[in-house]
Amino acid sequence: MTDGPTYGFDTLQIHAGAKPDPATGARQTPIYQTTAYVFRDADHAAALFNLQEVGFIYSRLTNPTVAVLQERIATLEGGVGAVCCSSGHAAQIMALFPLMGPGKNIIASTRLYGGTVTQFSQTIKRFGWSCKFVDFDDVDAVKAAVDDDTRAIFGEAIANPGGYIMDVRSIADVADAAGIPLIIDNTTATPYLCRPIEHGATLVVHSTTKYLTGNGTVTGGCIVDSGKFDWSANDKFPSLSQPEPAYHGLKFHETFGPLAFTFHGIAIGLRDLGMTMNPQAAHYTLMGTETLSLRMERHVENAMKIAQWLENDDRVDYVTYAGLESSPYFERVKTVCPKGAGGLFTFAVKGGYDACVKLVNALEIFSHVANLGDTRSLIIHSASTTHRQLSAEQQEAAGAGANVVRVSIGTEDANDLIADLDQALAKATS
C-alpha cells in the first residue's frame, strides 16, 4: 500500500504488503514456488550479494510470497520490518542469534509455553547461552536478575497456557534502563489484541502457526523489528554495530539504520541457519490474516462466555481467564489488551490428574491436540504433554499443574461448546 491515509486494522490485515501481480493482474498474492531468480546482469547480481540493492536471490533468503507476509505482519505490529521463518521456535532462535554469544544470558518469564522453557533452559546451552527465569510480576526481581552479560529480556504478552497478562511497559522500562532489548512473544494475543511495540518492546516474535494463520494447516514463525533500538549505543551487540567480515566489513546498524536487525535476520540469520518459511505456508498465513480481527472478536466473545460458565461450575476449582473480574490480571487487560483477553486459558478440574485425562477423552467437539489458535476449539492436558519435560515445580510456575487443562476456544457456537464441556465434566468427575 502506498504512503497516504492511515488505514484501519481491518483494511491493513487484507491489503498491507500486497498489490495485484504485475505480470498477470492476479488479485490474490501468488505462490512463487521457485528456488532462484534470474539476475538482469552480472552487476545486478553483485549488487544483490553485496547488500547494495534489495531484491530476490534465492528462496532460502527471500521470496516474493513470503515478502508480502513479512510486510503485512510488520505493518499490523507497527514495526519497520519483519523476517518470516519456519516455526515459532525458529523465530525465537533467530531473534536471539544477533544478540547473543558464548557466556551471555537472557532473562525470561517463568510463565512461558513449555517448549520455550525447554528451549531456553536446555537447548540454548549448546550455544554457550543461558537463561534466568523470573516471575515478571515481580519487577524488582527482574531488575535484580540483570547483569553485565544479559543481552535480552523475553516474555509473552498473553502467557501460554494460563492466559496471564504481562505488564509489558514495566518490563520494557527495566530493559531500557539496562540498554538491552525486550522481546515479546505475541502469538497468543496477536496484534489485534496487543501491539507490544507501543508498550516499549524492541522485537516481537510470533508462531504464525497459531492465530495469524488460524486454520491449523501450516507451521511458521516471524520476528518483527520495531526499528527503535540503538544497537550502537554500547558494545553489547557487535553483530549489529561492528564490521561484519562476511560482507567486507559492512556495519549493519550504520548502513541500514532502523532496519539493521531485519537485514541481519535475512542476510546472516536465514543465510546461515536456514530456517526458511516456504511460500505455500506464507500463502496460507496471508489468507488467514485477512480474517484475523473477525476471528479474534469471536474467540474473545466465546472465551468470556465459557470462562464465566466454568467459574460457576462446582466441578471446577478455578479458571485463569484474565477477562474475569476475579482474575488478578483483570485491570491489566484494559491497558495491555483493550480489545479482550484472548481465547486461551486454563481451568483446574476437581479430581486432579485422572479427572483431567477423563475429561479430555470424553469431549466430542473439542479436539485433543498440541496446538492453539485454531478456529476449532482445542484442549490439552499440559502436564502430560506440552509441559511433560518440566519438573513439577516448573509446571506449577508455568500454570500447567497436574490438575489443569488448557483450552483454546474456537469460533463455534459457544452454547455447543458449553454443552460439550458439561457432559465431559460429568463423566470426568462422577
pLDDT tens sequence across 42-100: 999 999 999 999 999 999 999 999 999 999 999 999 999 999 999 999 999 999 999 99
d(CA 43, CA 47): 6
pLDDT for 392 equals: 79
pLDDT for 161 equals: 85
pLDDT for 394 equals: 77
Domains observed in the chain: 11-288 (3.40.640.10), 292-429 (3.90.1150.10)
For 99-123, write each residue's pLDDT tens digit.
999 999 999 999 998 889 999 999 9
For the segment 193-197, the average pLDDT, to the nearest whole number, is 98
Q: How confident is the model at residue 1 (pLDDT cuts 50, 70, 90)?
A: low
Is 4 a residue whose pLDDT tops 70? no
Q: Are 365 and 377 in contact (CB under 8 A)?
A: yes
Q: Are 133 and 110 in contact (CB under 8 A)?
A: yes
Comparing 274-278, 311-315, 355-359, 400-404, the range with the smallest average pLDDT is 400-404
Q: Are 81 and 225 in contact (CB under 8 A)?
A: yes
Cα torsion for 63, 64, 66, 69, to the nearest 10°? 160
pLDDT for 396 equals: 76
Q: Are 109 and 134 in contact (CB under 8 A)?
A: yes
pLDDT for 401 equals: 84
Is 3 a residue whose pLDDT tops 70? no
pLDDT for 430 equals: 86
d(CA 225, CA 234): 19
Give percent of the chain above pLDDT 70.
98
Q: Is the pTM of this model over 0.85?
A: yes
Is 395 a residue whose pLDDT tops 90? no
Give percent of the chain above pLDDT 90.
90
Please name the residues in contact with 142: beta carbons below 8 A apart, sequence gap of 6 or more.
107, 134, 136, 153, 171, 174
C-alpha cell at 365: 467437539
Q: What single string gives the DSSP state of each residue in 319-368?
A: E--TTSTTSTTHHHHHHH-TT---SEEEEEETTHHHHHHHHHHH-SSSEE
- Mean pLDDT of all residues belonging to the chain: 95
Q: How confident is the model at residue 385 (pLDDT cuts 50, 70, 90)?
A: confident
Distance (Å) of CA 92 to CA 55, 152, 201, 228 = 25, 12, 15, 19
d(CA 50, CA 390): 45
